Structure 1
Amino acid sequence: MLSRVGIRNTTKDTMATQFWPDGAQLAVTVSMQFEAGGQPISGAGGPITEPVLPGFPDLGQNSFYEYGAREGVPRILDLLDKHAIAMTSFMIGDAVRRHPDVAAEIVARGHEAGAHGRRWERQYQLSRADEAAWIASSVQAIEEATGTRPTGYNNYWIRPGVNTLEVLQEQGFQYHIDDLSADEPFLQRINGEPFATVPYSVHLNDIASFDFPGFSPADYEQQLVDEFDQLYSEGAHRRTMMVIGLHERLSGHASRVRVLDRILSRLRERGDAWWARKDQIAQWTLDHPDTATWVDRDPAPISGLPGRSH
């Protein structure tokens, strides 16, 4: 059946299906980008709006990114401990090499380490061989710092290339998040085998919220509560997932953590929501292929969407 445009839903009886573990009505997943040191030494965006002159390192702007590692990560980890939430942290390889102790602490506190490329660069323009080496480099950095091998991937600015999913699967990844097309995870056949997409949500990303003129932390609080309530309601008859996307340098400020604390306190009152890491959501989807949503797309160069290369 086609439950939504372009989606093939294999569920035989959607009303009888257990959409999530223990009959949960909604899955909620939190992610935090760990990017401090992965940005270019000059030209990265940030709160200092006057551009630095060509040829000079942007020392002030770079200190804004460093704040994420020094202050933001510890504050967010403490917040998640308070609410007993395990999240996924997508880590840039160069950020991990610069702050291996921070990466190790994230994993030691029970969170997933996902890969986020070697540094900020347009991965989609790399050749297949260069992209494979690029991804392997980020994996190596995470393994050396944390002792874990990532199974999930996030591209720079959510832009995979036409070969990315095939390269990821060849390197043992189980899922990626660089797709904005759904409010639930889904499966595709990549290299002939199931590969999971755990879609991202830009409109709930802190960059889109905190950095938008006229949009206050209080607005963000209401937006997240409304999103939760709507998806929870829909979750009575279909599989739904809510994604909360954070950056350590943005959401890790004291006032914003205070807002997030209020939000999580309200959302955690619903006992039948499954708060999960993205690898757990991907694994659940892969373990239940008969009731998962499958997406069959033309090759990426034709469809213009993430998928197989040919």
Structure 2
Amino acid sequence: MMTDADFWPNGARLAVSFSLMFEAGGQPLSGAEGIIPEPIAPGTIDLPTNAYFAYGYYEGIPRLLDLFDKYRVKMSSFMVGQAVDANPDIAREIVRRGHEAAAHGRVWANSYQLSREEEKRFIADSVESIARATGQTAIGWNAYWMRSSVHILETLQELGFLYQIDEPSRDEPFITRLNSRDFVTVPYTFHMNDIVAFPEAGWNAAAYEQALRDEFDQLYDEGSVRRRMMVISLHDRVSGHPARVRSLERFLSYVTGKPDVWFARKDDIARYVLERRNTTPVLERGSPYGSGLAGPC
């Protein structure tokens, strides 16, 4: 059994971790998912949708960075390599303000249909783009819509990654034993993803804020007896709009008034649980997710 001190640093009872997806500039010129319901002819450059993405680097990311600074929150930014190449100053500013630069692929597209070597190159390219712009080597991975190939853990381990987030089965991190070494999953939550839960057409500020508070309150209560983590996923072109930032600010004002909350980058979460392997669920490679566990429940 874990003691309170084992859950998170300094006796915190809940880790709250923000992800910021830096995808603006990495999307295809035609066929990217935007906000205009009318389809465009295949192969035609979609001017308004590309402008919608551009909002992410012109307005969204700067506004969100200012919000995080105001509340002293550090987060992990999953960056598409092509987006970083197009806007290296934005990537550098994210890192300069103390946030993590993590990898999100060469372009905003899936990789699960690639061969293992092609997928490995697809991931490595984004790492190289991030390193060129920021000097930081990415050790965290997020795939397009969470879908990587079945070889992904071995590939990430070979590339020097420490963790991935493409797994929604838990409200706490866990370890996979792989090639006699440990690899961390810092799980994802679809329902706290701004694109999935509250798209532009269905935006309801009051419902969004209530969902954030309810998620926090439930996990905060559970955090008195077990390790709990709240994950909130934001996109540069979605949550960076003024109304959404105001909703996030009201949520941050609420949770920063609570004691014993750790606002954590995901690389820090991964390192913390690796240092406390005896208090972390461990999954042997080859077992299905959610079963075959060795270690504490």
TM bucket normalised to smaller: over 0.9
1:68 match: 56
1:121 deviates by 2.2
The aligned counterpart of 1:285 is: 273
Query: For residues 1-310 of structure 1, what are the structure 2 equivalents within 5 Å?
Result: 13-15=1-3, 18-211=6-199, 214-296=202-284, 298=286, 303=288
CA–CA distance in structure 2, aligned partners of residues 243 and 229 of structure 1:
13
User: What SS does the aligned partner of 1:251 have?
Assistant: coil
1:262 partner letter? R
- Partner of 2:145, secondary structure, is helix
Residue 191 of structure 1, CA deviation: 2.2
Using the alignment, how far apart are the partners of 2:146 and 2:242 within structure 1? 27
Post-superposition shift, 1:214?
4.4
Name the Cα RMSD after superposition. 1.7
How far the C-alpha of 1:296 sits from its partner, in A, is: 2.9
| Structure 1: gaps of 5 or more residues | 1-12, 306-310
Structure 2 unaligned regions, length at least 5: 291-297
Could you say what secondary structure the match of 2:277 adopts? coil
Q: Percent identity among equivalent residues?
A: 53
1:15 shift after superposition = 4.4
**Aligned residue in 1 for 2:293:** none
Q: Distance in 1 between matches of 2:212 and 2:182?
A: 31
Q: 1:94 to 1:151 in 2, by over 3 A?
A: same
Question: Secondary structure of 2:50's partner?
Answer: helix
Assess, with a 3 A threshold, how the Cα gap between structure 1 residues 43 and 274 changes in structure 2: closer, same or farther: same
State the TM-score, normalized to the length of structure 1. Answer: 0.91
Residue by residue, what CA displacement relative to the aligned partner does 1:176-225 show, whole Å, maximum 9, x if unpaired? 00000000000001222100000011100111232175450211101011
Aligned residues: 292
Distance 1:215 1:296 in 2: 41
